[in-house]
């Protein structure tokens, strides 16, 4: 499917319009749920870390350090991607699946348009904006961690910021955004595959959306393990 997606390109002016539409549908409309989840995930990470660091010999700065590492390495890129597999993945599968059921894809082929390029290629390009969402998720998550730690009385702001800057490794940022790009490609292609090749009627569209969410989540988790093993071990 991916190979056929890059063949017989649609007219450039049409593709640009489709790409901007997909950016709006897949990226911009996901900002709300990503910001909401990231803020409270960061807050929960701080609270749980603080409640488990009961030994007075352990410096409180470690709370900020643990929050930064958790959010930067896993919660923002991986946890948010699994959530997006449900939101974005289901949207892609259902929209393409509905076009398959209503024979709109067949109509595109009859008109001489490469339906895979017309439907899937703009989604792949639009999801290149996905790291932008994850960058915001990292910022909001750390902000939530800071507010929960300071206003929850677990540590003061200076201690949190000291832990936040302590032993920072810039390569971890590259690692997070690299796997985010890989996840973006998976989020665009796996749901599109399940929607494009589905058979049946309206009931099967719902089943295909569920199947695409499960498989996208599984592949994201496995890919996360492989990338972590290759880049961090």
Closest CA to 146 of 138, 156, 136, 131: 156
Q: What per-residue confidence (pLDDT) applies to 200?
A: 78
Structure confidence by residue, pLDDT tens digits, 159-201: 888 888 888 888 999 999 999 999 999 999 999 999 888 887 7
Residues of the chain with pLDDT under 70: none
Q: What per-residue confidence (pLDDT) applies to 13?
A: 85
Here the tokens at position 63 are 């709370």
Closest CA to 209 of 74, 78, 100: 100
Q: What per-residue confidence (pLDDT) applies to 64?
A: 87
Q: What per-residue confidence (pLDDT) applies to 233?
A: 79
Put simply, whether the predicted model's pTM sits higher than 0.85 gets the answer yes
Long-range contacts of 196-200 (CB under 8 A, 24+ apart): 196/1, 196/96, 196/97, 196/100, 196/105, 196/115, 196/116, 196/119, 196/120, 197/1, 198/93, 198/97, 198/100, 198/101, 200/101
Q: What per-residue confidence (pLDDT) applies to 187?
A: 93
- Residue 67's CB: how many other CB atoms inside 10 A? 31
């Amino acid at each position: 499917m991916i190979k056929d997606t890059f063949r017989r390109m649609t007219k450039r002016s049409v593709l640009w319009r489709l790409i901007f539409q997909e950016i709006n549908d897949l990226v911009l409309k996901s900002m709300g749920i990503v910001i909401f989840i990231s803020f409270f995930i960061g807050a929960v990470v701080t609270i749980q870390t603080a409640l488990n660091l009961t030994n007075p010999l352990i410096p409180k700065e470690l709370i900020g350090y643990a929050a930064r590492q958790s959010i930067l390495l896993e919660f923002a890129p991986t946890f948010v991607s699994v959530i997006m597999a449900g939101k974005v993945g289901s949207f892609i599968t259902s929209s393409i699946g509905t076009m398959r059921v209503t024979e709109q894809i067949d109509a595109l082929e009859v008109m001489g348009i490469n339906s895979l390029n017309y439907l899937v290629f703009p989604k792949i390009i639009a999801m290149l904006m996905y790291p932008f969402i994850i960058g915001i998720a990292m910022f909001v998550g750390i902000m939530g961690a800071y507010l929960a730690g300071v206003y929850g009385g677990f540590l003061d702001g200076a201690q949190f910021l000291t832990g936040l800057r302590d032993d920072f490794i810039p390569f971890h940022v590259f690692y997070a955004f690299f796997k985010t790009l890989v996840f973006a490609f998976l989020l665009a292609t796996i749901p599109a595959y399940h929607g494009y090749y589905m058979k049946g009627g309206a009931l099967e569209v719902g089943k295909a959306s569920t199947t695409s969410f499960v498989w996208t989540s599984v592949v994201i988790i496995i890919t996360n393990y492989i990338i972590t093993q290759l880049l961090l071990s």
